[in-house]
Amino acid sequence: MYRIGQSSDVHRFIEGEYLTLGGVKIDAPFAVDAHSDGDALVHAIAEAILGALAKRDLGTHFSDTAQENENRNSLEILAEVVQIMEREGYKIGNVDSLIMIETPKMAPYNAQMKENLARVLHCDTNQVNVKATRGEKVGFVGRQEGVLAQAVVLLQRRNENE
């Protein structure tokens, strides 16, 4: 038994010096406007898992006004979503994801992102893919106004005999 889910997340850039993507702190000429740490990649993956489970969206489970989520490490949010997934009897089949950002280059951080994600998702790094592309100077990504992340996840029943 398999279930598929997808999602995307956008965060606007504000003045700052770093951003967090895939749980990696990345030096950048800006920061993101967010209640949590603004990790668009982790938010997209977490919401794609909720989608696969037909459990609404991230905002339903994690309020963006609640004090407990202020400046929160998004990997903690993902860990709670993984708990929901496991309670429902599923594990990660694979995750494919895409970051759209004009600058900086994501390649130096790719391996660390995959490691962080696989650890929290309780799977191997070869089940998690992170791609990145630029906005080619057009749209909000190309104008360096924000970052967009997309994710697709396939969930697999933990016990195939169930």
Instruction: Name the site residues for Zn ion (rule: CB under 5 A).
Output: 9, 43
Nearer residue to Zn ion within complex by CB, 68 or 162 = 68
Give residues with Cβ within 8 angstroms of 132, minimum separation 6.
98, 99, 100, 101, 105, 106, 107, 110
Report the nearest approach of Zn ion to the CB of residue 74 (Å).
Answer: 8
Nearer residue to Zn ion within complex by CB, 57 or 124 = 57
Report the nearest approach of Zn ion to the CB of residue 158 (Å).
Answer: 28
Nearest to 112 by CA among 24, 49, 10, 27: 24
CA distance 30 to 45: 23
Nearer residue to Zn ion within complex by CB, 47 or 102 = 47
Report the nearest approach of Zn ion to the CB of residue 42 (Å).
Answer: 8
Report the nearest approach of Zn ion to the CB of residue 140 (Å).
Answer: 15
CA distance 67 to 65: 6
Nearer residue to Zn ion within complex by CB, 74 or 127 = 74
The two three-digit tokens of residue 134, written as one number: 């630029």
Of all residues in the shown chain, the one whose CB is closest to Zn ion is 43
